[in-house]
Structures are given as structure tokens and as C-alpha cells.
Structure 1
Amino acid sequence: MAGKSRMSGWLRRRTDGAPGSAAPVERDELTLAAARAGFPVAPAAHPENYGCSCGRIGCPIPGLHPLSLAWQTQASTDPQKVEGWLRTQPLAGFVTATGLNHDVLDVPAEAGRVALERLTADAAAFGPVALHGDERMLFFTATRGTPVDEDEWWPCELDCHPETADEHPGIRWHCRGSYVLLPPARLASGADVSWLPGHGPDLPLPEPLLVLDILSDACARFGYEPEAEPVGWGR
């Protein structure tokens, strides 16, 4: 029960303290903190006038995609480069490229809450966790897709396109070739992307398979079945 109360407190503080939108100072500090932690970041679009700042009419994922098609090579942990983006693009959100220094296990929020209860009750170490609105939770882990593993790991199209999330609502393993929206950010729905209190990017990254096991059990409780081999699974 102690673990459940602690988790409820985290989520309650997040809801009570959620701002109407990410303040510039908060965005700058948290984005730089992520870069210092080794998360490669790149500028992203943001919701604008009921659409997307990218200017694409009918953009299917407003505010959920990088600004540049070259985001994989653009993504950087260089503080000077990141500070330049923050200065020249004051409204931009940021994505972090996965599969380089970290992976992300992306699950439905209801399953994520169950997993947090178990992790807390077991006193298990878990790293950065982000809340993606009220619908998803993002568990940041060590990566399984590094250049050394070039022949063993590959990106999965299912997990590389945010617009497929509604069609495939279970676990999405973001590894090489994928990205996630980095907190703090505002979604087109008006909800926020934010770090779980006390679980920001400064924490050590856990092994992905250990977290995956718990997340898989939690997802199974709600009937979410694996849709395909996620990013980072070997042959």
C-alpha cells in the first residue's frame, strides 16, 4: 500500500502543478538537462492555431514530429548547439532520438500505473519516466541498439511513426530510427508531456529487458497484446 500511495502522490502533484503551457525557462532548463544526461535532442514542431507549426495542412500528428527530415543526424547533446536552438526557436518543442544513448518503452497509461506500483513495491530501480498526456507513459532505459549491434538490431516501422499509435496501442519500443517527444511539451489536445516528479533525465538508465518484463505483465492485465517485434528486438 505504501508504494501505491507514493505513486498516487506523484501523479497528484503532477496534475495539481501542471501549468497551462511549458514556461520558456522550464523548457530551456529541462531540455539542457536532458542533453547533459546524454539524450540527443532536436527541435520539434508545436501545436498552433488548432493545427501544427509545420504549416502542413491536415498534419496528422500536430506538435509530435521533428522540424527537420534530417532529425537523426541533427540530434545532438552539444550544449552550445542546444542553447542555439532554444534561443532562436522559442516556441519549439524537442524530440529525443532513441537507440543511440537510450531507448524508450512506451505503454498505455493504465498499464504504466500498474507497473509503477509494482516497481515501487519491489523497491526496484527505475529511471526517467515521462507522462505523455493522460494516455501514455514513457519509460526511459539503457539502449539495446548501438552501432556495435548494427547487424543485430534494426528499427521497426511500427514504432517509428507516432500516427500509428492508435492502431497499435500496446507496448512500443522506441530504439534505433525512432524518437519521442521530450518533456516539457504541450500536446494538441491541451494535455502536457512532463516528467514524473523525481524521475527526470538525471537518473541512471535501467536495463530495458528488466523493465519490459514488468511492463508486459501490466499490459497483459488490460488485454494489450504485442503487435509486432518492437524496435530493438533481435532476430
Structure 2
Amino acid sequence: MEETIAGTDAVQIPKQRGESLLDAAVRYAEERHWDVVPGTWLDAVDGSHRCSCGDAACPAPGAHPARPDWMSEATGSATVARRMWQERPTASILLPTGLTFDTVSVPETAGFLALARMRRMELALGPVTLTPDRRMEFFVLPGAAAKVPDLLRRLGWAPSSLDLTVRGEGDFVAAPPTRVGSRGAVQWACRPTVANRWLPDAEELMSPLAYACGRDR
């Protein structure tokens, strides 16, 4: 079943299922061979939800690493993932970037414009997330962080002129169904499937992404 999110020009977004964080984390490790890391979580405090980190002004409540050495907990084992989320069932799901994928992050409006353009061009897409902060993360092959600035310059764009960033080695993305404070949950705009197991290179997607970000300025 699908639903249309307002303002997306009829781009279809799969309706999100009520999957638990534990089940999702295990599935990412087992089916996609992605490393997963349990992050912070949301605590109910005085009728509101606050980040377990204790910072009342946390910019990403319940959706960031819980400790400085968070990468040491990363695992691609479904068995280990199950044990970790059994111990911390409300922990967010973080996916380290720079290992099996990087992500290209753009504003939501530019992301939907780019998605429509990519589908018209019949480009092969990887998974894409939609965050409560109104960003879209396009999953691409690792190494994108090093090549995207030159790709943008070749297309005639100064990298600093576009709201387009790349998450690579040492960074992470929050995965569905992680919730970010009271803003809502991370969703899949393009859900992981057997068909998109092989990720595109950033070069294949950069032209429509740069064009959409340029239009969105």
C-alpha cells in the first residue's frame, strides 16, 4: 500500500509498517549486510520526550551516537544486533557511512524533484530516506565524499553554492523507524529491495541532484 506525501508532486512513498527497532536492525544486518549501531533513545520527561544524552537542547534527540567510540559497537551480525536491541529496545538505529555506502543529503523539496527526474531518466536508484528534518539521503557507493566536489565543478556548480552534502567515513545516518524527538520518524522514500541491492555511483545521480538543488535555492 502507498500514500502520497503532500507537496511531493505525486511521488509515491511506501506506507511505513509498524516494525520494531529490533526487527528493523536485525533485518538491515541480515538482509542488506549493513553495519548497525544502537544510538541514543527518547525518555519521557514531564510529558515530553527528551534525548537519553541528557542535553535539553539536543539537536537530534534520540537519533545520534550514544558514546564517543560508537563505531566500536558497529556490527553486521544479525545475532549480535538482536542481542544489542534486546538490551536497549528503544535505541535508535544508526548506519555508519563510508563502509558499504555513502549518502548524498539534499533538502526534501530538491530530493523529490530529483527523484521524479531520475525516474524519467530511468536511472537505477538505491535506497533513499526521508528525515523529520526535511532532508533526503540518497544511498550511493562508498567513496562519494571524495569525488562529489569535483563532479559538481564539472557540472558547473561551486560545491559551496548548493545545499548538498555527503556523509562518508566516520559519519552515520539514522535508519527507519528511528524517531527524532517530537518531529517524527525517519522513513523510506525508496525502500531497500532486492532490485536496489547494487548501489549507484554518485556520478550517476549527481546531475539531477545538482539541478534540483540549484532550482531549490
Q: TM-score, normalised by structure 2?
A: 0.77
Q: In 1, are the aligned partners of 2:37 and 2:70 still within 8 Å (CA)? A: yes
Who is 2:12 aligned against? 10
The reply on whether 1:52 has 2:46 as its aligned counterpart is: no
- Equivalent position SS for 1:196: strand
* Structure 1 residues 191 and 216, CA gap change in structure 2 (3 angstroms): same
How far residue 153 of structure 1 moved from its aligned partner, in angstroms, is 5.0
Q: Which moved more, 1:125-134 or 1:89-98?
A: 125-134
Deviation readout 1:173-202 (Å, 9 max, x if unpaired): 0001111111111121332201125x2265
Following the alignment from structure 1 to structure 2, what is the Cα–Cα distance between the partners of residues 169 and 71?
A: 30
AA aligned opposite 2:43: E
Q: Which moved more, 1:125-134 or 1:55-64?
A: 55-64
How far residue 71 of structure 1 moved from its aligned partner, in angstroms, is 1.3
Following the alignment from structure 2 to structure 1, what is the Cα–Cα distance between the partners of residues 59 and 162?
A: 17
Deviation readout 1:19-55 (Å, 9 max, x if unpaired): 7xxx4x4323322222231221100112333320222
Q: In 2, are the aligned partners of 1:143 and 1:175 still within 8 Å (CA)? A: yes
Following the alignment from structure 2 to structure 1, what is the Cα–Cα distance between the partners of residues 34 and 42?
A: 23
Extract unaligned runs of 5+ from structure 2.
1-7, 148-160
Who is 1:200 aligned against? 192
AA aligned opposite 1:177: G
The reply on whether 1:42 has 2:37 as its aligned counterpart is: yes
The reply on whether 1:188 has 2:181 as its aligned counterpart is: yes
* Structure 1 residues 33 and 169, CA gap change in structure 2 (3 angstroms): farther
- Equivalent position SS for 2:10: helix
Who is 1:144 aligned against? 143
AA aligned opposite 1:79: A
Q: In 2, are the aligned partners of 1:105 and 1:212 still within 8 Å (CA)? A: no
Detail structure 1 runs of 4+ shifted over 6 Å in the superposition: none
Following the alignment from structure 1 to structure 2, what is the Cα–Cα distance between the partners of residues 60 and 9?
A: 29
Q: TM-score, normalised by structure 1?
A: 0.72
Deviation readout 1:119-145 (Å, 9 max, x if unpaired): 111111101011112611111111017
- Equivalent position SS for 2:65: coil
How far residue 57 of structure 1 moved from its aligned partner, in angstroms, is 4.2
Q: State the percentage of identical aligned residues.
A: 27
Aligned residues between the structures: 190
Q: CA RMSD in A?
A: 2.6
Q: In 1, are the aligned partners of 2:27 and 2:78 still within 8 Å (CA)? A: no
* Structure 1 residues 62 and 83, CA gap change in structure 2 (3 angstroms): same
Q: How does 1:22-41 map to 2 (within 5 A)?
A: 23=18, 25-36=19-30, 37-41=32-36
Following the alignment from structure 2 to structure 1, what is the Cα–Cα distance between the partners of residues 25 and 204?
A: 27
AA aligned opposite 2:86: R
